[in-house]
Amino acid sequence: MKCNVCGCENNNTNTTCIKCGNNLTNQVNNMNSTTQHKIKIIPLILSIILPGISYLYLRQYLRALVFLLVFPLIFFSFAFILSFYTMMIPSRVSLAAYMIIIIIALVYIYQIIDCYKIASSNKK
């Protein structure tokens, strides 16, 4: 491990630098927290950009399968209901459309929060 202060190469078991005496344990703790932060942020970005794919990254295959099958099913079933509803009562389209958008947004937000919780609980 390299010392942050002087750049001297030290053994991984050393707690202080052999050249300048810098405390190396703080350096190890900072590296671990940075790695854990990266592990949490990647699934979060994936869940925002490609919903459901972050479950595959986290190796939650059942959740990925359920989300990738159920989310489009919910979307298309609501689209079908909305199209049927507009034929029957054209003046109430906006209320039904807003309700569908809210439900889809809630499922999307739940997926983001769930992926972040799973990533936070994983100790890689």
> pLDDT tens for residues 89-102?
666 666 767 777 88
Name the token pair of 48.
């925002």
18: burial class by Cβ within 10 Å (0-12, 13-18, 19+)? middle
Q: Is the pTM of this model over 0.75?
A: no
Q: What is the DSSP letter of 22?
A: -
Q: Report d(CA 100, CA 104) in Å as an integer.
A: 6
Q: Report d(CA 112, CA 47) in Å as an integer.
A: 5
> Where along the chain do its domains lie?
52-121
Show pLDDT as tens, one digit a residue, over the chain (124 residues): 677 767 777 777 777 777 787 777 766 555 444 445 557 788 888 888 888 888 888 888 898 988 888 888 877 887 787 777 767 666 666 676 777 788 888 988 999 999 888 888 865 4
